[in-house]
Amino acid sequence: MPLLQSWRWYGPNDPVTLQDIKQAGASGIVSALHHMPHGEIWPLEQIQERKRIIEEAGFTWAVVESVPVHEAIKTRSADCGHYLENYRQTLRNLAACGITTVCYNFMPVLDWTRTNLAYVLENGAKALYFDWTDLAVFDLFILKRAAAAQDYAEAVVAEANKRAETYPASYLKQLEDIILMGVPTEGSITLEQLTASIGIYKEIGHEGLRENLAYFLESIMDVCEETDINMTIHPDDPPYPILGLPRIASNKADLLDIINRVDRAPNGICFCTGSLGAGRHNNAVEILKAVGHRVYFAHLRNVLKDEQGNFFESDHLAGDVDMYGVMRELVAINRKREQPIPFRPDHGHQMLDDLHKVTNPGYSAIGRLRGLAELRGLEMGVERSVFAV
Ligand code: CS2
Ligand code: MN
């Protein structure tokens, strides 16, 4: 049984159509009701309708990515109980429709963070890029966070000072928009909201956030066990603290802590090689070996880092992540499962015709098609050569 080749589809408004995805060769769809405000119960009828569209096009709805965790739960504020009840109900509604793998993250306020969404590679394709100095420009000169400078290397602060003077106002505005942007279609937050949240998370701290995650998991595990839902936490992206916000899903020890603290089978992991791979401290293959028994979903992509830790999203098979090693391990884990593990090419380059189109950053069709094709070939090669009997 091969892995379930999947593809993220943002729904009927996605410029990439289900027919495009058919041509790319995926068979599982990863989708969410992105229009639902965070924290509201997803109505059964809307889940059924999305499922109908996906299945009529010949796919299965393999994973819900994501059912977002409301900030009230992450910060365990007064109305936390209300949002937990809503979350449980959304899970029940999904299970009633037969959808049993759910992805989420526990990153404070922001989802993934990049500083450039159109970094031009040598071959003319565009990739997502994270640059410490540009983050420092944002932090020091746009957000103006108190004591931010101490979170950066001296050389980075010096260079950020220079860039802040030379960057045109339009570029600074663009940088602000990019950093404040959430997942496509889920909207952005304001500088004021970010500053307020940073203050709240400072109080909560690293250990507090870990406890809040454990509380969230404890609160939903009964429902998961009753309904056969597997939860999969997405690692922090990038996998270290930024903007003074705590991070608790950034490395092997974090992931082990998460699955051991609430040691129940539905408490699982979305193994994202690109997110983990952006940290110098992470060896994706080693992490997969440690937590593989709880991996129910995988995001496969690659990154290339420089000495400062800046990174761009590289070709799926060429980068700091040993994709052969990851695939070999993933195939081995999958062989022991009753249901295939879904994986998707997480992001792809904007390339060829897509360079002339308006696409969701990271989610244009052709770059992901290339990624999926390479990964599928790698899987077959591993399967035939390593596991052939
Ligand atoms: C995704 C994440 O686009 C991406 O990088 O992997 O946005 C992911 O969907 C969320 O973090 C999961 O909640
Ligand atoms: Mn990912």
Nearest atom of ligand 1 to the alpha carbon of 270? 12
Beta strands 126-130 and 311-314 are antiparallel
Please state, in angstroms and rounded to a whole number, the distance separating the CA atoms of residues 344 and 381.
18
Predicted confidence at residue 389, as pLDDT, reads 66
Predicted confidence at residue 182, as pLDDT, reads 76
For residue 96, give the 3-state DSSP assignment: helix
Predicted confidence at residue 176, as pLDDT, reads 97
Please state, in angstroms and rounded to a whole number, the distance separating the CA atoms of residues 337 and 1.
9
Closest CA to 66 of 176, 238, 186, 202: 186
At 258, the amino acid letter reads: I
Which secondary structure element, helix H or strand E, spans residue 389, and what is its range? none
Domains of the chain: 4-115+205-386 (3.20.20.150)
Residue with the smallest CA separation from ligand 1 atom 6 is 346
Predicted confidence at residue 356, as pLDDT, reads 97
Please give the distance, rounded to the nearest whole angstrom, from the Cα atom of residue 220 to the centre of ligand 1.
21
* Residue 263 token pair: 């040691």
Question: DSSP states of 256-311 as a string?
Answer: HHHHHHT--TTEEEEEEHHHHHTSTT--HHHHHHHHGGGEEEEEE-EEEE-TTS-E
For residue 316, give the 3-state DSSP assignment: coil
Please state, in angstroms and rounded to a whole number, the distance separating the CA atoms of residues 200 and 284.
32
The finding on whether 237 has its CB within 6 A of some atom of ligand 1 is: yes
pTM: 0.98
Nearest atom of ligand 1 to the alpha carbon of 105? 13
Residues assigned a catalytic role: 234, 272, 299, 346-347, 363
The finding on whether 66 has its CB within 6 A of some atom of ligand 1 is: yes
| Contacts within 8 Å (CB) and 24+ apart, 78-81 | none
Please give the distance, rounded to the nearest whole angstrom, from the Cα atom of residue 156 to the centre of ligand 2.
27
Q: How many CA atoms lie within 13 A of 177 on its CB side?
A: 9
* Residue 235 token pair: 């690692």
Please state, in angstroms and rounded to a whole number, the distance separating the CA atoms of residues 320 and 285.
11
Identify which of 8, 10, 29, 66 to mutate to test ligand 1's pocket (most ligand atoms within 8 A of the CB): 66
β partners of residue 314:
302
What is the pLDDT tens value at each position of the chain, 389 positions in all? 999 999 999 999 999 999 999 999 999 999 999 999 999 999 999 999 999 999 999 999 999 999 999 999 999 999 999 999 999 999 999 999 999 999 999 999 999 999 999 999 999 999 999 999 999 999 999 999 999 999 999 999 999 999 999 999 999 999 999 999 977 777 789 999 999 999 999 999 999 999 999 999 999 999 999 999 999 999 999 999 999 999 999 999 999 999 999 999 999 999 999 999 999 999 999 999 999 999 999 999 999 999 999 999 999 999 999 999 999 999 999 999 999 999 999 999 999 999 999 999 999 999 999 999 999 999 999 999 999 86
For residue 376, give the 3-state DSSP assignment: helix
Please give the distance, rounded to the nearest whole angstrom, from the Cα atom of residue 349 to the centre of ligand 2.
14
Residue with the smallest CA separation from ligand 1 atom 5 is 112
The per-type count for the chain, helices as H runs and strands as E runs, is 13, 12
Please give the distance, rounded to the nearest whole angstrom, from the Cα atom of residue 356 to the centre of ligand 1.
25
β partners of residue 342:
4
Q: Which ligand is nearest to the CA of 273?
A: 2
Identify which of 30, 105, 178 to mutate to test ligand 1's pocket (most ligand atoms within 8 A of the CB): 105
